[in-house]
Structure 1
C-alpha cells in the first residue's frame, strides 16, 4: 500500500502541478470554474479532468489506505 501512496504522490507532483513556473494549470482551471466558468469550452472541462485526475487518484488511495489501517486496528 505504501508503494501505491508513493506513486500517487509522485503522480500528483509531476503531471498534476505542471507547469512548474508560475501558477499550476489545475489551479487556474479550478478558479475559472469557481468563478462561474464563463466562456469555458468542452475542451476546458476535459483539460480540468485530465489535470485533476492525479488528485482524484490520490484521494482514492488515501481512502483505501485509511480503510485498511482502520480494519487492522479495530
Structure 2
C-alpha cells in the first residue's frame, strides 16, 4: 500500500478528492447525500453503499498518504 500511494502525487489525489467528493455539483454532492443517508440510517441499497465508497475513496487514500508520510512521525523509516 505504501508503494502504491508513493506513486500517486499529492496534486492528483487532491484533485480527485475534490472532483469525486463534490460531484455532481448540483443539486447536492453525492458524498454529502450518502453521508447524510448514513447518519439517518437510510443507506440500505447496494448502489448507495457503492456510491459512498466510490466518492470517498480518494479522500481516504489522501488521509492514509498524509498519515504515512507525516514528518512528525517518530518511527519514520
Class of the TM-score when normalised by the shorter of the 2 chains: 0.7 to 0.9
- TM-score normalized with structure 1 length: 0.75
TM-score of the pair, normalised by structure 2: 0.73
Structure-to-structure mapping, 1:1-74, within 5 angstroms: 4-37=9-42, 40-66=44-70, 69-70=71-72
SS in 2 for 1:21: coil
Question: C-alpha root-mean-square deviation of aligned residues, in Å?
Answer: 2.3
Bigger RCO (CA 8 Å, 6+ sep):
1
Which runs of 5 or more structure 2 residues have no equivalent in the other structure? Answer: 1-5
Unaligned runs of 5+ in 1: none
Q: What stretches of structure 1 move > 2 A for 4+ residues in a row?
A: none
